[in-house]
Amino acid sequence: MKTKNRIHIIDVTNRDGVQTSRICLSKLEKTMLNIYLNEMGVFQSEFGFPVTRHETNYLSANLELAKKGIIDPMRLNGWLRATTGDVETAFKFVPGLKHVNLSISTSDQMVKHKFKGKMDHKGVIDAMQKAVKKAKKMGIKTIGVNAEDASRTRIDYLVEFSQAAAAAGADRVRYCDTLGCDTPDTIYTRMYTLARKVKLPLEVHCHNDLGLVIANSVSGAKAVIDTGHDVYINTCVNGMGERAGNADLVSVILAIKYGNGFKDKYFLDERIDLKVAWRICKYASYAFGVDIPINQPGIGANAFAHESGIHADGALKDRRNYELYDYEELGRGEPEIIDTGRKITAGEYSGIKGFRNVYSRLEVEFKNDREATKVLDLVRYANVHNQKPLTTDELLFIAKYPDVAGKIFSMTPQD
């Protein structure tokens, strides 16, 4: 029997999400997101930029966590421009890198008005192929090639470009709706044509400029599955991302699990565990400093709220009258604790006694004051690093993996 093709999730919060204008994440926050994404069963996290010097210690530290089995089996991939120079620099700075996506623009608009005569359409393909071959030669295990602005690229050229990527040794091609200008109909037609002619798994990378990001993502995924290939949807936690954002991680999963016409033909990666959704979305909201909209699917405060008399009555009789899925499935429903009295916190000016009290409440005991002082120093660094109070999971991470944490908090200045 033929194996059923699957829809996998490649989350790009730590690459595209952090490019959201006016906000950012610390390296510890990016690390925590990788840990949550792994728990959630995400196939791959695009965890950063290997040629960016301030990322290198964080990237190497996360690859160390992967080696230790802490971030496993989720893959960690770096984003590079499709140039041999980027590939060489990435290996110099982050030698443990095993998975990459190489990106280059393909539309007439970008080739003409972004490259400004430095590269033509043939040059784009040549540069991409050289970068893929260089990455293969240097030991990269899997390579995705990104066609930036694919939705505005002539389909015949997009096919030529993608076939050239396959010939050079790429494992996947990423169809980027960079400006969010596709519709469910256009992206289905274009991705169906592309997958049928290129005969490779494709990635769907959509933006939300027209409010169609979830519809476009699942429509593009359906097209690839219909040609008999696996497909990978790019997501960001809470729909973060440049301009109007990327495809929201939880919304994409809910659409595939509960959207009409999906259940019997289109199958989500079995590792996906929605019970982590509540924790990862709440953490991302805290880390980014961006509130979750009250009407956000599955996670928003009103996602399971009923005010209309008819709706409230129907939901009380049987929740399925007005609720498509259960809040428990998303990890919601745990009682929330409200602090009403004295609280000792751990911060950049904490003393050893108050600090040990904080950790004893987390059921973490230190062998001696020396071990406690080492972790306290790291917690102080972490508070300066995050510029906000640490969460329970962050405190536990630092206590469990102090050596890795120390690498995450340090940056190497440019030589």
Section 311-319 average pLDDT: 65
pLDDT band at 127 (very low <50, low <70, confident <90, very high): very high
Asked if residues 24 and 54 have their Cβ atoms less than 8 Å apart, the reply is no
Asked if residues 28 and 58 have their Cβ atoms less than 8 Å apart, the reply is no
Section 24-53 average pLDDT: 97
Q: What is the pLDDT of residue 314?
A: 64
Residue in the block written with tokens 């050079």: 168
b/e 15-47 (16+ beta carbons within 10 angstroms → b)? bbbbbbeeeebbbbbbbbbbbbbbebbbbbbbb
Query: pLDDT digits over 327-380, tens only?
Result: 999 999 764 544 544 444 555 555 666 667 778 888 888 888 888 889 888 988
Please report, rounded to a whole number, the percentage of residues in the chain having pLDDT higher than 70. Answer: 90
Residues 6+ apart with CB under 8 A from 352: 369, 372, 373, 376
Helix/strand/coil for 84: helix
Asked if residues 237 and 278 have their Cβ atoms less than 8 Å apart, the reply is no
pLDDT band at 308 (very low <50, low <70, confident <90, very high): low
Distances (CA, A) of 144 to 98, 300, 343, 344, 396: 12, 33, 48, 47, 34
Q: Read off φ and ψ for residue 125, nearest 5 degrees.
A: -65, -45
* Host H or E run for residue 206: strand 202-206
Q: What are the sequence ranges of the domains in the chain?
A: 6-288, 352-409
CATH code, residues 6-288: 3.20.20.70
Query: pLDDT digits over 8-36, tens only?
Result: 999 999 999 999 988 889 999 999 999 99
pLDDT band at 263 (very low <50, low <70, confident <90, very high): confident
Q: What is the pLDDT of residue 4?
A: 86
Asked if residues 179 and 212 have their Cβ atoms less than 8 Å apart, the reply is no
Q: What is the pLDDT of residue 317?
A: 72
Using left for φ > 0, alpha for ψ between -120 and 50, and beta otherwise, residue 319 falls in alpha
Count H helices, E strands: the chain?
15, 9
Distances (CA, A) of 381 to 47, 289, 351, 370: 22, 20, 14, 17
b/e 313-325 (16+ beta carbons within 10 angstroms → b)? ebbeeeeeebeeb
